[in-house]
Chains A and B, each alone.
Chain A
Amino acid sequence: MSDRSLLSIDDLDVAGIREIVELSDAFEEVLRRPIPKVPALRGRTVANVFFEDSTRTRLSFEIAAKRLSADTVNFTASGSSLSKGESLFDTIRTLHAMGVDAFVVRHRAPGAARRVDGWVDTPVINAGDGAHEHPTQALLDLVTVHRRRGDVEGLRCVMVGDIEHSRVARSTIGAFTMMGMHVSVAAPATLLPTGIDDWPVDVVEDLDTALEKADVVYMLRMQKERIARDPVLPSLREYVARYGLTAERARRLPPEVVLMHPGPMNRGVEIAPEATEHPGAAIEEQVRNGVTVRMAVLYLALGGMP
């Protein structure tokens, strides 16, 4: 276990989040240089251990590590590790024995990164553990709002869609509310987690009413495959009508709104192609900010270590 690990957004307090936001701003300046690279983590090795397919997040961490001059190794295996006769414990201990300085872990199972953290003394960064948490996503979301709107305190965010199965929701709601934002969630009851009334959010049924007061509109990915397994929705068509950010809904949003999506987008489902052209759309900025935020997180996890 390492006290430099980042497993949950709750591992951070307001000061810790501010530090990451400021560092991220500093690294944004690095990215604009002709040679966008600093030697901060030269000689350190970061292992990206991905038990679930996620090219975007893995590349983002890899670029972040390389901008800091760290060496990176990638381990990718999808599906159940046990079903393949592969032990998560053995995989991690093997990489640990090779001399890795930090683990970036993505796994389809909630709590996997926390388990890994219990097995090694090096920092572990949670890059998404099932429907549980995705803390670097939360931090890049916060940085994105901050860069668009300055002080985030008091801003109103409407988060729309599948809260129940979303690690982004669990982490980003935590980060936004910790920094003083108000969050409402809009979703059919079948996509809300048990105990949502204990969360620091308002639950709204009608999206259009909620959008009227929103400073930030956060659309979550709707997994089309889910409907086949579990009848959470009668049809995607009905979902889009009730909760999709259609072109028509996007037209009613003011230009200063911050329109976000964690990617990858289902264009035409939760978000219409036209909506991504809205001046408020910050989806590519989120991706870019993901690099600087992950640079900040890796720097804090590994910087200054012997």
Chain B
Amino acid sequence: MTRIALRGGRVWTGAGTEVADIVVADGSVVAVGPAAAAGSGTDDLDASGCLVLPGFVDLHVHLRVPGGEDAEDVWTGSAAAAAGGFCDIVAIGNTQPPYDTASVVRTVRAEAEAAGLVRVHPAGCVTRGRNGKDLAELHELHRAGCRVFTDDGTPVADAAIMRRALEYVKGFDGVVADHCEERSLTDGAQMHEGRVSGRLGLQGWPAAAEEIIVARDIVLAEHTGSRVHLQHLSTAGSVEMVRQAKARGVRVTAEVTPHHLTLTDDLVEGFDPVFKVNPPIRGEEHVLAVRTGLADGTIDAVATDHAPHTAEVKEEWTDAACGMLGLETAASLVWNLVADGTITLDRMVHAMCTNPARIASLPVRDAITPGVTADLCVFDPEATWEVDAVGLRSKATNSPYAGMTLTGRVRHTLLDGRPTLRDGEIAAPVPPVGGSRAW
């Protein structure tokens, strides 16, 4: 197998970066150091000026497979992940059929392996058909590879079911990930409840609807001693409750999306449904709170909630589906928080690599040293690029950052020592007939 040399990057050491070359062979990092790649006979990738980080892990991706392939398929979703610097993604099972049986989970894994651009880890459903009533066969799903369990946007409303799910998965160290939404408070909601919703006449989604379930889940995790993971935290109150729960040792973890870190509800004023998402983009005080939560470690992970939708369901605000693309812009957006001093590089690595891996019970990659699996993201912090929604690898185009210029971009991604993204281009096998953009 060809030896690959990454030359001249600033390599993550677990505590900072050092300028070094990296040699990769047989899927592993075999040498790290100044001039480690001296000599010839290697396939060279230029990493000069770049950060070389462990490959990213996304806890929250809507791959739309099966059943939603008009918006995204395994090939386009995997390509978007590779372009975003990801080596592992947790795929959420609000699909048709949902990920509530082992056979569906195995099918999705097999299709993703064939695509070969990113490792896909389906999250099992908590309840059958996501009906909120009957537990899915959680251990069977675990045997099929599921480590995370979630009913996604139809969160488990019944506290007794939630309690049983938490207890049941504890035995095999599964984690229930909850989309926190008290739906009696959000029926018909269209955007964050606040001054903007009042002005626009759009029904509000109050912060309290999230916080009520965050509180419930923390209490249940404490009661059962199980792990609970809170998805896409979006309110100041949620962050504060998680902070307090962690301080007293509750096994709670939390994620935040790039969009909740960067977008505010005044963007809804133009009524462009590209900004419609659940939970909604909120007021500035909430954005500042989730940033603080990410900076101080209250929020463990950045997860994209990548949610491709076709243009037909993003026509007009009220009828539009919720969700936005995230995989290809996440690294730049989080890097901008590092660049402006909101968080440290250390926090970025933990939020995008080590913590999500730990939460999803995946191998944790941290310091890039000889012997580790060569899952690497080579990120150019100086590159500027304009987000072209059509040019993104996702099949759908619903990026809220379309037209914006971002700083920092993934140059190469290595998965098991093999480039999946090389100089910004997908290093992909040709997709089979019917795959990719055949729609």
Interface residues of A in 126-175 (CB under 8 A from B): 129-133, 164-165, 167, 170
CA distance A111 to B317 in the complex (A): 7
**Contact (Cβ within 8 A) B195 A115:** no
With A194-B195, A195-B194 as contacts: A130 and B201 at CB distance below 8 Å: yes
Q: Which of B308-316, B356-364, B366-374 contacts A (4 or more CB under 8 A)?
A: B308-316
**Contact (Cβ within 8 A) B318 A198:** no
Q: Min CB distance, B307 to chain A, in Å?
A: 18
**Contact (Cβ within 8 A) A88 B315:** yes
**Contact (Cβ within 8 A) B198 A195:** yes
**Contact (Cβ within 8 A) A88 B316:** yes
For residue B193, CB closer than 8 A to chain A, the reply is yes
**Contact (Cβ within 8 A) A194 B271:** no
CA distance A80 to B321 in the complex (A): 13
For residue A109, CB closer than 8 A to chain B, the reply is yes
CA distance A167 to B193 in the complex (A): 17
Tell me the count of chain A residues lying within 8 A, CB to CB, of chain B.
28
CA distance A188 to B195 in the complex (A): 18
**Contact (Cβ within 8 A) A110 B271:** yes
Contacts of A196 in B (CB 8 A): 198
For residue B160, CB closer than 8 A to chain A, the reply is no
Interface residues of A in 30-82 (CB under 8 A from B): 80-82
Q: Min CB distance, A188 to chain B, in Å?
A: 16
CA distance A129 to B201 in the complex (A): 9
Query: From B196, which residue of chain A is reached at the shortest CB distance?
Result: A195
For residue A87, CB closer than 8 A to chain B, the reply is yes
Centre residue among B193, B312, B317 by max chain A CB count within 10 A:
B317
For residue A96, CB closer than 8 A to chain B, the reply is no
With A82-B313, A194-B195 as contacts: A132 and B318 at CB distance below 8 Å: no
For residue A255, CB closer than 8 A to chain B, the reply is no
Secondary structure call for the A interface: loop
Contacts of A129 in B (CB 8 A): 201
**Contact (Cβ within 8 A) B317 A110:** yes
**Contact (Cβ within 8 A) B193 A194:** yes
Query: From A132, which residue of chain B is reached at the shortest CB distance?
Result: B201
Partner of A89, one of B195, B200, B315: B315
Contacts of B316 in A (CB 8 A): 81, 88-89, 107, 109, 111-112, 115
**Contact (Cβ within 8 A) A87 B312:** yes
For residue A288, CB closer than 8 A to chain B, the reply is no
Q: Min CB distance, B147 to chain A, in Å?
A: 36
Interface residues of A in 176-199 (CB under 8 A from B): 193-196, 198
**Contact (Cβ within 8 A) A165 B201:** yes
Contacts of A164 in B (CB 8 A): 198
**Contact (Cβ within 8 A) A194 B204:** yes
Contacts of A249 in B (CB 8 A): none
For residue A114, CB closer than 8 A to chain B, the reply is yes
CA distance A131 to B198 in the complex (A): 10
CA distance A230 to B312 in the complex (A): 31
Q: Min CB distance, B224 to chain A, in Å?
A: 34
With A81-B319, A130-B318, A198-B195 as contacts: A110 and B270 at CB distance below 8 Å: no
Contacts of B313 in A (CB 8 A): 82
For residue A278, CB closer than 8 A to chain B, the reply is no
Query: From A164, which residue of chain B is reached at the shortest CB distance?
Result: B198
Partner of B200, one of A87, A88, A107, A111: A111
Partner of B319, one of A109, A165, A194: A109
**Contact (Cβ within 8 A) A133 B195:** no
Contacts of A89 in B (CB 8 A): 315-316
CA distance A48 to B425 in the complex (A): 49
Query: From A163, which residue of chain B is reached at the shortest CB distance?
Result: B198
CA distance A167 to B313 in the complex (A): 25
Contacts of A193 in B (CB 8 A): 197-199, 201
Q: Min CB distance, A86 to chain B, in Å?
A: 11
Q: Min CB distance, A203 to chain B, in Å?
A: 13
Query: From B197, which residue of chain A is reached at the shortest CB distance?
Result: A194
Centre residue among A80, A82, A87, A165 by max chain B CB count within 10 A:
A82
| Chain B window 298-326, contacts with chain A (Cβ cutoff 8 Å), 1 for yes, 0 for no | 00000000000000110111110000000
Q: Min CB distance, B138 to chain A, in Å?
A: 35
For residue A267, CB closer than 8 A to chain B, the reply is no
For residue A108, CB closer than 8 A to chain B, the reply is yes
Q: With contacts A89-B315, A111-B202 known, what are 8 further pairs, Cβ within 8 A?
A: A110-B190, A110-B200, A110-B318, A130-B202, A131-B202, A164-B198, A195-B196, A196-B198
3 tightest CB-CB pairs across the interface, nearest first? A111-B271, A131-B201, A195-B195
Binding site for B on A (CB under 8 A): 80-82, 87-89, 107-112, 114-115, 129-133, 164-165, 167, 170, 193-196, 198
- A-B residue pairs in contact (CB < 8 Å), sample of 28: A80-B319, A81-B316, A82-B313, A82-B319, A88-B315, A88-B319, A89-B315, A89-B316, A109-B317, A109-B319, A110-B202, A111-B200, A111-B271, A111-B316, A111-B317, A112-B316, A115-B271, A115-B317, A130-B318, A132-B202, A170-B199, A170-B201, A193-B199, A194-B194, A194-B195, A194-B204, A195-B197, A196-B198
